[in-house]
Structures are given as structure tokens and as C-alpha cells.
Structure 1
Amino acid sequence: MQGCRKKYPRKNNRKEREWALRPKLYGFNQATPLYLSELAPTRWRGAFNTGFQFFIGIGVVAANCINYSTARVPWGWRMSLGLATVPAIIMTIGAFLIPDTPNSLVERDRIDEARNALRKVRGPTVDVEPELQQLIKLSQLSKAMEKESVRTIVEEQYRPQLVMAFVIPLSQQLTGINIVAFYAPNLFQSVSFGNDSALLSAVILGLVNLASILVSTAVVDRFGRRFLFIVGGLQMLLCMLAVAIVLAVESGVHGTENISKGNTILVLVLLCFYAAGFGWSWGPLCWLIPSEIFPLKIRSTGQSIAVAVQFLTVFVLSQTFLTMLCHFKFGAFLFYASWIAVITIFIILFLPETKGIPLDSMNAIWSKHWYWRRFMVKGQVSRDNHPMTS
């Protein structure tokens, strides 16, 4: 739809259609990372969740290709919008075919079905009984505790997870990635690309991001989450600063209508490196971290908060970016560069490594952290600290 923006005469209706899709997207974005985290073996959990972001990237590239192909057709925006029904139908049918996670089946006392589900996903030759018994034990402990309520997640012992549920998705959007993705055609038109070239540039950015997600899938369970966050953050920071410098030198404080062809290409290259840095760090990890840090009793609530924060931030930033770009010119990129620096420092100081930690043992990492351990309840940590076979 973004590629057809100028061909659609009633902007408000376009917004209404776009936001009508968001409740459905919210449901899938909330459920899918949780489903993958609960289903995946511990040693492959990062790769499974990174795959979620990879297929989001495929969808973005496909949408940009469709926009590019239909840009010259008078009714092309209708085709772009209508083709969104194809993946929606596939997802709806697929939802009836995939199995429930063993965790959810045990929670509903469907033990035999949970055993069969474990055998299906772990393989027929794997002894699933130790893992099943561990799930049953955790379920019994969870049921013995106070029933989950919305207020449960604000208890002091869950302060670290709650902070991350807000900060991680908020920070992902403050890197500026969705602004670049949403308005890539506008950005490239503003730096001397034509309409078709601008749409093609968005396709290029999407392909670069997609390739970098493949890199993340291969290394996330080897080097860990913190390493990718930090190195990816530094890469994005340098690229944003470089873009700001190029635009400042070329167009000055007040801006000009066009910049030189050489600097236009340089901006594209820098944004490609920026997209690559995001694709193997903040892109997939924003879905992975919230899905694995919460205890079972508040996991769904925590993930819902994380997705809600992300969508709200996307809405606010998407409504303000073009105004910011028009008024502050290169300063808009300095704004996002500053946030990238802040959130990278936050990751260094406050996010413990979760690589290779079973979901049921995740509370132990907070109890060992220099800052978060002051919020942890010793009894709660010991109850949750039961390693799971994977």
C-alpha cells in the first residue's frame, strides 16, 4: 500500500484500511513468538524465533516487489491491497493444522496429547518422558500459585521482565527501521531518485535485510543475544551518523531540492548497511527476548504488552517522521542515531545473556545480574530454577 500512496486519492481511507489490518497482525505477532519459544528445543530456540523475523522479511520484500510492479497501473493500489488476502488465507488454514504446544496441553491436563506433541516435534526416537515430567511439575507449581491477573506482572519480582517488555520493542522502533521501511520511497525520492527508482530502492533494502536475518539465524545461538544487540547497534549507529553527515554537508541546514548523484548512491549504500545491522540484531531479537524471559504464568501477558508497545510506537513514529524530516532535515537521522546509542548502552548494562537457558530456568539469570537481583524473590527463583531436557 505504501508504494501506491500517491495513486490513492483519499488518504484517510487508506489509513483506515491499513489500520483495519492491525488487530489481526497484533494477534499473530503476539502468539507466534510464544508458540515458537515453547515448541523449540532450548539449543535452537534463537534460530526458530529468528525464522519468524526472516519470513516477515520475505513478506516485506514481496510487498515491495508488488508495489514496484503495480506502480504504473491506475488501479494498482487495489491489486496491492487485495493480494494481502493470500497470506491471510494461508495463515488461517495453517492455524488449523499446527499442533498445540506441549506446555499448553499440560496446562489443560491433556497429558497424552502433550506426550504425542513432544514425540512429533522432538522425533520418534527421542525419550520425551523427562521433558514431559518436567512440564507437569512446572504446571503443578504454577497452578499452586496465585491465579494470574493483569496485576501479577507488576509485582516487584517481575520488574526486570516488565521493563524489558517495554524497553525492547520501544527501542526497536527508536532505531528508525520501520520509518525507513515505511517511507523508503519518500526518502529516496527526496534524495533525487525518481518514483520507480524509489520503489526499487525499497526492494533493495528489503533484500539486504532478508540476507542479514539469515546470518542472525546461523549465529544467534552461537554468539548469544547480547553480542548481536551490541555489534548490530554499533553498526546502525555509525550508518545513521554517516547519513546525517552526508545530508548535512550536501544540503545544509535548510535543505535543497536535490543532492548529487554520487551522494545519493552513498545514502543508499549506508542505508543498506544500516538495514543489514538491524536484520541480524534488533530485527529478530525484539521478538525472541520477550518470548523467552517471562515465567509461564505471565508469559502470554508479557508478550501481549511487548507487542502492544511496539505497535503503539510504530503508530506514533510513522505519524511524525515526515514532519520531522521536513523540519529538521538531517537532524532526523541524528535523532535516531542518539536513540541507538542510548539503547545500546542500556543493553550492555541491563540485559543478561539468555543463550542456552531453558525457559523454566530463566529467572536465575535475573537473580545473578548486578542490578536486577535486588528485585528477585529467593523462593521464586528456586522454584523456577529446574533445568529442562532439550
Structure 2
Amino acid sequence: MSSSDPQHGDGAASVQRLNPKVVAISVAAAVGGFLFGFDTSVINGAVDALSEEFTLGSGLTGFAVSSALVGSAVGAWFAGSLSSRYGRVKVMVIAATLFFVSALGSGLATGVWDLIAWRVLGGLGVGAASIIAPAYIAEVAPAKYRGRLGSLQQLSIVLGIFAALLSNAVLANVAGGASSTLWLGVPAWRWMFLIEAIPAVFYGVFALKLPESPRFLVANGKLDEASRVLYRFTGELDVNLKIEQIRSSLEREQRETLRDLLGNRFGLRPIVWVGILLAALQQLLGINVIFYYSTTLWQSVGFDESQAFLTSTITSVINILATIVAIVLVDRVGRRPMLLIGSGGTTISLAAMAFAFSFAEGSGEAVSLPDPWSTVALIGANAFVVFFATTWGPIMWVMLGEMFPNRIRASALAVAGATQWLANFLVSTTFPAMSQIGLTFSYSIYAVFAAISFVFVVRLLPETKGIELEDMDDLDVRGSRRAGPGS
């Protein structure tokens, strides 16, 4: 493997252009993100009807809504070790099966506890998909385009959220209400769950047709198959050199376990702590409060209940467009600069919302804002969505998929992913109690975490733009890359 090969320049594996095949398999893998977004949002349109159907109190209703997040944390935790043992593709197929079974079970549930059980089962699929898709895309994507392809995960999530909102509205409109009977004598709210089985089937079919990750294949001695994947899908010009680089990065690995994450810094390796903090801070900014509990905000600025779907749809569209902007910019601007802009923007937006709600009149669902503070709150909420969706929303998933060394990637991503879901559960379940203290208090807390995220990016987060996965061992958690041999 000479470094003087005129065709390959200095001998580094290079990519002349973005192979359409790698785009296709990245899109197929990201369908898991679509189901992730759909599954976590679909219950919002059904919650009032199922609460009435099963005569639920507010506490049990809240747990039925958030129970999927518990399953998601567990699914994320185990997805890494399962994918290291059985492969990324097989775990995607398992996740698709869980989505399918959960959709049918939730739609046909006879009581709240079996509904919760089916939602937890679906959560296992959500957690697994949230980990496997970014890991797989990072491992098949050329370094030059990895940010854009990795951002497809977040784009799929927001499209899934939009699709769930749209299908819920259509089904409720056709039936005349979520509780009203639709097809086959089944209420519309049950069809809201059942319809998820359709994309679950597509995800399973797509997953079965995906090639396995070349890094998993090399780790398991399937070099010929890894060569075919690298040549046909990633467009590598020097396949043998690339395989040698992967083998070199994996040569000390016997079998990846959670024990490999241990280090001298508070029990874990520094890069693992960085991944955990990155995942937690994404949720502690409070994004799901905007999506899960937006009704109070819209009503406080003068919208009536009939406009709730329109405003939710507008927010979802803004989310999608902003995510597309992130896909365009992430490989040009870099991860750290975009996250710094996001941290600064969300801090200001949340602070504006907190200040606006200090002038609120009334409490609970009766809260209202006088002019001009209603306008300030409305602008602040949408600005927050824009800043989050162009930065922390997609880039967190991109970085988690690429920032860890090869030999600990799956396990470290599992730990960080489980942290993200636990933080999601924490924020979603504490907001109602915090809002009783006051929305100014709630949004101030999230603004503080947004400010902390700015310091975190400046002090600890490494830049991963353009770095090959085989070189991630050289990352420095203080924002630069350590000089390795020969550099």
C-alpha cells in the first residue's frame, strides 16, 4: 500500500463524489427516525379520547403519554451491545418489528395498563432506532458528507412528527372527532395508533435490503463483504487502505462491552462524559415543552382552541425547514460553530419568553398575555424552534454517531442515547409542576441550561467535521484535535 500512488495522491482513502447509493441507504436507515418521531407524537391526538375511554385521572393519563420514553431509554441502552454482537441491520429489523407490534397492540388495547405495556414496547423500538440510525449512517458515510447524511436522522424525526399530527387530524376530521367511530366500527383514536403499522412495515423491508456496516464486517472478519460495501456504496477509491485503517483502529478490540467506557475521570472516559452531557443538554433546553405543552402558549397569545392544529402544523413546518438548513450548513460551517450559535439563540429566545410571561395574567389554562408581551412570547417560541432545529436538534445526533472511537462507539452511543431519553422523560414530566410555579420560572430554568450549553461547547466539545472515524481516537475533549503520530 504505497503512499506514492499517483492515482490516490498521499494514499489516504478519498472520495471523488457523493455516491447516490450511500444517500439511498442513509435515507433507508433514517426511516427509523421517521417512526421515532411518529411514535412519540401520535399519542398527542389520542390522549383525550383514550383518557375518556378508560376513565383516567390526570396522573395516569400523564404516565400513559410518557411511558414510551421509559421504553426508549431501555431500548437505547441495549441497542449498542446488540448491534455490536449481531450487527446494525439486524437491530433495525428488530426495531421495525417492535414498532409494528406496538402499533397493533396500542390500537387494540382493552385497558390502560396493556396500552402502557404496548407503548413501552414501542418505546424500545424508538430507543433502538434512535441509536442505530446515526451509528450506521456515520459508519457508511464519507467523512466529507457525514454531517449532511447524519442530519437525515433529525429530518426524518421532524417529518415523523408532522406526519403523526397530520394523520391524527385527518382521521379525527373524517370521523367527526377522535372518540367517534371510524372504519370497521373502531374509534378514530385507535386508528391513530394502528396506522403506524404501515411505515413500520416499510422500515422493516428497507432494513432487510441494507448492506451491513463495513466496520462491523471488518470487526467480524468479513473482509470481502466489507470491501464490496465500501466500493459499491461509499465510493472509496482505495478500498484496501480503508480496510487496513479500520482494522488498525479495531486491532485492540476483543469484544466491545460497557467496561470499555471506564476511565479515570469520575469513572468514565472523558469523551463518554462529553457525549452524555451533549445528549442531556439537548433535552434540558426544553424543546419538548414547546411541542408537548404548546396549547397554553398559543391560547395565552389569543388563539382559540380551533386553531390548535394550524399552529402545531406551522411549528412543525418551521421545524422541517430549519432542519433542511442544518443539512446544507453542517459540513460547511462545522459542528461547534453551529452549536454555539444555537446555544446563544436559544438562550436569548427562552429569556425573552420568560420575561414576557412575567406579565401574564391568570394561571393554568386561563393564563393570558397582554400586548405587546403576547407577541414577544410568540416570536420567542418560534425563534427558539428555529435556533434549535438548525443546530442542537440534528447536530447532537450527528456528533453522537461520529465522535466516539470505533471500539467503543456502539456502547458509548447507547449510554448517551439512554441519557437523552431519560432527560426527555425528566423535562416532560416536571414541566406541569414547574408551570404551576409559573411559566417565567420554567422558561428561566431552560434559559439557564441553554447558557450552560454554550460554555459546554466552548470548553469541552471537540470538532468532528471532516475527520475520518478511524481517527476519532485523536480527539481532544477541549475542542481541538490532538496531534497524532505523523501529524
SS of the residue 1:251 aligns to: coil
Q: Is 1:346 aligned to 2:456, yes or no?
A: yes
Deviation at residue 286 of structure 1 after TM alignment: 1.3
Tell me the residue number matched to 1:314: 424
Partner of 2:447: 337
What is the correspondence of 1:265-276 to structure 2 with a 5 Å cutoff? 265-276=375-386
Q: CA RMSD in A?
A: 2.6
Are the counterparts in 2 of residues 192 and 261 from structure 1 also a CA contact under 8 Å? no
| Higher mean C-alpha displacement, 261-270 vs 74-83 | 261-270
| Structure 2 SS opposite 1:357 | coil
Question: Displacement of 1:255 after TM fit?
Answer: 9.5
Cα distance change of structure 1 residues 238 and 191 upon mapping to structure 2, 3 Å threshold: same
**1:240 paired to 2:317:** no
Indicate yes or no: 2:310 matched with 1:200.
yes
- Farther off after superposition, 266-275 or 302-311: 266-275
Partner SS state of residue 151, structure 2? helix
Q: 1:85 to 1:107 in 2, by over 3 A?
A: same
The C-alpha deviation readout for 1:156-206, integer Å capped at 9, x for no partner, is: 386221112210110000110112112223442454433331232121111
How far apart, in 1, do the equivalents of 2:298 and 2:159 lie?
21
Matched, 1:28 2:129: yes
Structure 1: state its 5+ residue gaps. Answer: 374-380
**Counterpart amino acid of 1:207?**
V
- Counterpart among 143, 148, 158 of residue 42 in structure 1: 143
**Equivalent residue letter for 2:225:** E
**Counterpart for residue 164 of structure 2:** 63
Is the Cα contact below 8 Å between 1:53 and 1:284 reproduced in 2?
Answer: yes
SS in 1 for 2:436: helix
Quick one: which amino acid aligns to residue 201 of structure 2?
Answer: I
Q: Deviations over 1:353-376 (max 9, x none)?
A: 111111111222318768x98xxx
**Could you tell me how far apart the structure 1 residues matched to 2:350 and 2:370 are?**
19
Could you report, residue by residue, the CA deviation over 1:211-238 in whole angstroms, capped at 9, with x for unpaired residues? 1111111111111111111101111111
Distance 1:262 1:63, change over 3 A: farther
Q: Secondary structure at the match of 1:156?
A: strand
Aligned counterpart in structure 2 of residue 126 of structure 1, from 237, 252, 261: 237
AA paired with 1:28?
Answer: A
Q: Does the CA-based 8 Å contact 1:37-1:291 persist in structure 2? A: yes
Q: Is the 8 A contact 2:460 2:478 kept in 1?
A: no
Change beyond 3 A, Cα 1:298–1:254: closer
1:164 aligns with 2:274: yes
Secondary structure of the 1:245 match is helix
Partner of 2:475, secondary structure, is: helix
Larger CA deviation: 225-234 vs 86-95: 86-95
Confirm whether residue 142 of structure 1 aligns to residue 184 of structure 2.
no
Distance 1:386 1:81 in 2: 56
Q: For residues 34 and 132 of structure 1, what CA distance do their matches in structure 2 show?
A: 18
Correspondence for 2:202: 90
Instruction: Note if 1:3 corresponds to 2:113.
Output: no
Q: Is the 8 A contact 2:162 2:316 kept in 1?
A: yes
Query: Identity, % of aligned pairs?
Result: 26
TM-score if structure 1 supplies the norm length?
0.87
Deviates more, 1:76-85 or 1:331-340: 76-85
Q: Secondary structure at the match of 2:384?
A: helix
Task: Indicate if the aligned counterparts of 1:254 and 1:329 stay in contact, CA closer than 8 A.
Answer: no
Q: Is this contact kept in 1: 2:261–2:272, CA < 8 A?
A: yes
| Paired AA for residue 189 in structure 2 | W
2:261 to 147, 150, 153: 153
TM-score if structure 2 supplies the norm length? 0.71
Q: Can you give the 5+ residue segments of structure 2 that lack an aligned partner in the other structure?
A: 1-42, 66-115, 180-186
1:120-166 CA distance string (max 9 Å, x none): 2134x934232123223333x234xx643322201238622111221
Q: What secondary structure is seen at the aligned counterpart in 2 of 1:362? A: helix
**Compared with structure 1, are the counterparts of its residues 107 and 230 closer, same or farther at alpha carbon in structure 2 (3 Å cutoff)?**
same
Decide whether aligned partners of structure 1 residues 186 and 80 sit closer, same or farther in structure 2, where only a CA change above 3 A counts: farther
Is it true that 1:362 corresponds to 2:472 in the alignment?
yes
